[in-house]
Amino acid sequence: MMEYVGFIAASLTTLSFLPQTIKIIKTKDTKSISLGMYMMFVLGVAFWLIYGLYTGDMPIILANLITLILSSIILVFKLNELFGKK
Amino acid sequence: MMEYVGFIAASLTTLSFLPQTIKIIKTKDTKSISLGMYMMFVLGVAFWLIYGLYTGDMPIILANLITLILSSIILVFKLNELFGKK
């Protein structure tokens, strides 16, 4: 039973970044997005990926690989808004 | 060694929501924030909390309790922007 709860939890928190990524790609608007959040979050997810690779834990590797890709896209858009050519 | 990597990963991904929460409380601007993301994310973190409580895993309970509080604040501000009194 608890495996299902864990699977649902991991799927929701991982896939939740998809609607935010799509919204930003469509609108190019990242004004209310926090640069601090996504710098910390991308770094944290990268650490989770290292942890998963080292312990050989497939769910942790898969979930954090997807989250790393999605949250990195958001970070790039935010950096581009702040430092990109005007 | 890996406990440290896991601890750093959990701390970064949990505390990363703090700068986003502070930015939204200050600016009241949630325009580029995705409602879909935070509805899915808050639900997912709640599932992680149930998972942690059931398995008695303190780090999972603590990390997800903090994240639940912070991400719920963001969700409330987003709902208020969309459905609150104009």
Domain range for residue B54? 2-83
pLDDT in tens, A29-66: 999 999 999 999 999 999 999 999 999 999 899 999 99
Of A24-28, A67-71, B57-61, B77-81, the poorest mean pLDDT is in B57-61
CB–CB of A23 and B38 under 8 A? no
pTM greater than 0.90 (yes/no): yes
CA distance A1 to B19: 35
- Residue of chain B minimizing CA distance to A38: B16
Mean pLDDT score, B72-79 = 98
Residue B44 and residue A6: Cβ atoms within 8 Å? Answer: no
Q: How confident is the model at residue B3, as a pLDDT?
A: 85
Mean pLDDT estimate for chain B: 95
The CA distance from A39 to the nearest CA of chain B, in Å, is 8
Which among B4, B5, B7, B13 is the top mutation candidate for probing chain A, defined by the most A β-carbons within 10 Å of its own β-carbon?
A: B13
pLDDT at A86: 64
Q: How far apart are CA A71 and CA B4, in angstroms?
A: 23
Residue A85 is encoded by which pair of tokens?
Answer: 């050519």
Give the ipTM of the model, two decimals please. 0.91
How many folded domains does chain B comprise?
A: 1
CA distance linking residue A26 with residue A35, whole number of Å: 19
> Looking at residue A64, which CATH number applies to its domain?
1.20.1280.290
Confidence of residue B20 (pLDDT cuts 50, 70, 90): very high
